[in-house]
Structure 1
Amino acid sequence: MYKQLNAHFFFAMKLPVETKKKLKEYCGSLSPKLPFSRWVHQEDYHITLAFLGSAPQEKLQKAAKLAADSIRHEKRFPLHICKLGVFGKQDAPRIFWCGTQQDKHLQDLRSKVYTACQEAGFELETRPFKPHITMARKWAGTFPFQENMLDAYSPFKEKPLEFEASEVVLYQTHLDKTPKYESIAIFPLVGE
């Protein structure tokens, strides 16, 4: 069912096409001001719910079934992208991201997917869930990164970017391709 060859897998919230386009526009205006070395392809924008790493097919199938069962009755809900942030060293971050407002629906959905993966035998990251969309990697500026740049250049200062969370996806990573992430199973949320 799922392709292998040392591939990595993860569950994520898929973003709608229009949201990806808008984020790509934002990145186009931010990239001259924020010199990161690699900007993420717009088709790879997502919010990770559970990173699985590499795994045998049986274990992936079990996780997919348990996740599908656990979110079967989950309804679609609105999310608001409202902030910029970084991970890594303060003066030379490795990840530039945009994040959502804290949302109980997203926390609950993530918890169900996370628990399903643990029940399937996956050992998952234990850091607190910080929902974000990776936009770029590896600071490449000739000057140190300064956190006040995030506020100065934020496209979300006046209005967050709203979208409807409607699908959870199991992705496979292809490091040698662009876009890097292939959807291998889709779990739609229930419409109103």
Structure 2
Amino acid sequence: MEQQTHFFFALRLPLEVKEELKDLSDQVKKMFPFSRWVHEQDYHITLAFLGNADKVQLERAKELIHQQTIDSESFSLKIDNLGVFGRKDFPRIFWAGVQTEERLHIVRKQVFLACKQAGFQLESRPFHPHITLARKWSGDNPFPISQFDDEKILNHPLSFTGSEIVLYQTHLDKTPKYEAIASFPLNSR
């Protein structure tokens, strides 16, 4: 039986930022046992998770995103914090977060609305831009939230330019598991 594939739009991270996050993850693995660590080529900032999709819907979303973002400019971002989602004692996601940047929220809104116009049912949770580093706490003891100091782990912000929106397809049986199938470059400033 073939596994169902999923699609999502995301902001692509530059290779050098992925490498720095990989180095950070390698350091953190020794301190924080999570079940699954994300492959560095799969690091991204999700803008809209589509789930399963047919070709017509995907093509419509791609057309609308192209129209919405054709005049959008690239923008600066900084990864400057770490955190967890889920229960604080047994978190399900360990992530790196980006500093608030209005342009990222504008681009996310453009992508989100284009996907809704294409007929996708999207999550309504507030947008919390982050890069997932690991999933599912597997420590014998609860996550040491009182000892967790992201400033000691991430001792300097990682700056980069958000310059490309990508449509990814998930391949659960591969590593890395996300394949870029369409790209929407943002204009250089």
Fold agreement, TM-score > 0.5? yes
Q: CA deviation at 1:5?
A: 6.4
Secondary structure, counterpart of 2:21 in structure 1? helix
Q: TM-score, normalised by structure 2?
A: 0.95
> For the Cα contact (< 8 Å) 1:98–1:134, is it kept in 2?
yes
TM-score, normalised with respect to structure 1: 0.94
* Deviating more after overlay: 159-168 vs 41-50: 159-168
CA RMSD, 1 decimal:
1.4
* 1:37 aligns to 2:48 (yes or no): no
Query: In structure 2, do the counterparts of structure 1 residues 35 and 115 end up closer, same or farther at CA, with 3 Å as the change threshold?
Result: same
Q: Give a deviation string over 1:84-137, Cα, whole Å, max 9, x none.
A: 011111111111000001110000000000000000001100000000000001
3-state SS of 2:149 partner: helix
Instruction: After TM superposition, give the deviation of residue 144 of structure 1 in Å.
Output: 0.7
Name the count of aligned residue pairs: 188
Distance in structure 1 (CA, Å) of the matches to 2:67 and 2:161: 21
Matched, 1:181 2:186: no
Deviations 1:19-70 (A, max 9, x none): 0000000011111001111110000000000000001100000001101110
Question: 2: distance between equivalents of 1:5 and 1:57?
Answer: 17
Alpha-carbon distance between aligned partners in 2 of 1:164 and 1:25, rounded to the nearest angstrom: 20
* Distance in structure 2 (CA, Å) of the matches to 1:189 and 1:56: 26
Counterpart of 2:79 in structure 1 is 81
Shift of 1:147: 2.1
**C-alpha separation between the residues in 2 aligned to 1:37 and 1:153?**
24
Offset of 1:181 from its aligned partner? 0.2
Q: CA deviation at 1:177?
A: 0.5
Letter in 2 for 1:170: L
Long gaps (5+) in structure 1: none
Structure 2 equivalent of residue 11 of structure 1 = 9
1:119 is matched with 117
Q: Return the offset for 1:148.
A: 3.1
Measure how far apart 1:7 and its partner are.
Answer: 1.1
Check conservation: 2:5, 2:169, Cα contact below 8 A: yes
1:154 shift after superposition: 4.2
SS in structure 2 of the partner of residue 67 of structure 1: helix
Does structure 2 conserve the Cα–Cα contact (< 8 Å) formed by 1:81 and 1:100? Answer: yes
Q: Which AA in structure 2 matches 1:165?
A: G
Contact 2:82 2:150 in 1 (8 A): no
Secondary structure of 1:33's match? coil
Point out where structure 2 has 5 or more consecutive residues left out of the alignment.
none
Letter in 2 for 1:57: K
**Deviation of residue 149 (structure 1)?**
3.7
| Cross-structure match for 1:91 | 89
